[in-house]
Amino acid sequence: MINKNIIFIAPPAAGKGTQSGFLVKKYGLVHISTGDLLRDEVSSGSTLGNELNEIMKSGKLVSDEIVGELLKNRLMKDDIKNGFILDGYPRNVSQAKFLDDMLQSLNMKIDHVLYLSMDRDTAMRRALGRLTCPKCNASYNKYEEIFKPKVDGICDNDQTELVSRSDDNEETFKNRFDTYIKDTEPLLMYYDQKKLLRKIDNSGSPEETFAKIEEVICK
């Protein structure tokens, strides 16, 4: 067991969800994906959920206030005390400052900020082939051998039928990638100045990337 609080920064479809899954399985960390929290709200069919769906389908960011509130509620739960992974938060510098304040008030801190890089074309190919389990959120890829489910279109974990995310289409992907470059990449400097940032070589297989992550977090 390691009791660490980790942030992932990476372009869309670069493998944050996959690496988070490995960390959950091996180290029992809690995976907090703001995208999943927002998608749960969308699935609830509430008025807010419908508004969020429109924003997410466009590839733009949801307002800092809404995501901040969802995250705050999640961080209040007791299960995060043994360490958590933030996947998809913060997405801009103002969210990073909000997070700093929130963690300080909860007497917690971030231990590592892990940066997984990926070029635009590779990330786009990944996004367009991505399949997700609506039940356990596991991620697969119909185009890449190593990411295919054992049975076509079915989740290995719970045999649920896999779905494509509505924002994993070419047009939305381009917007998400542009949003990442404009709003999220400035976080690299923010966390580098705090001496928390570590760049992880993400050019090999998911297992190779995970081994690099372990070298950093288990030190």
Write out the catalytic residue numbers: 16, 91, 130, 165, 176
Read off the amino acid at residue 78: D
- For 33, counting Cβ atoms within 10 Å of its Cβ (0-12 exposed, 13-18 middle, 19+ buried), the class is buried
Q: Does 154 bind ligand AMP (CB under 6 A)?
A: no
CB closer to ligand AMP, 3 vs 94: 94
CB closer to ligand AMP, 196 vs 211: 196
Which one of 2, 24, 55, 93 is in contact with ligand AMP (CB under 6 A)?
A: 55
Fill in the per-residue mask, 94 to 113: x = in contact with ligand AMP (CB under 6 A), - = not in contact: -x------------------
Q: Does 15 bind ligand AMP (CB under 6 A)?
A: no
CB closer to ligand AMP, 112 vs 176: 176
Evaluate whether 125 touches 143 at the Cβ level (below 8 Å): yes
CA dist., res. 117 & res. 15, Å (int):
9
Q: Does 61 bind ligand AMP (CB under 6 A)?
A: yes
> Is the peptide bond between 134 and the residue preceding it cis, with omega within 30 degrees of 0?
no
Read off the amino acid at residue 102: M
CA dist., res. 132 & res. 142, Å (int):
10
Q: Report the interface residues with ligand AMP, using CB under 6 A.
A: 12, 33-35, 38, 55-56, 59-62, 67, 88-89, 91, 95, 167, 176
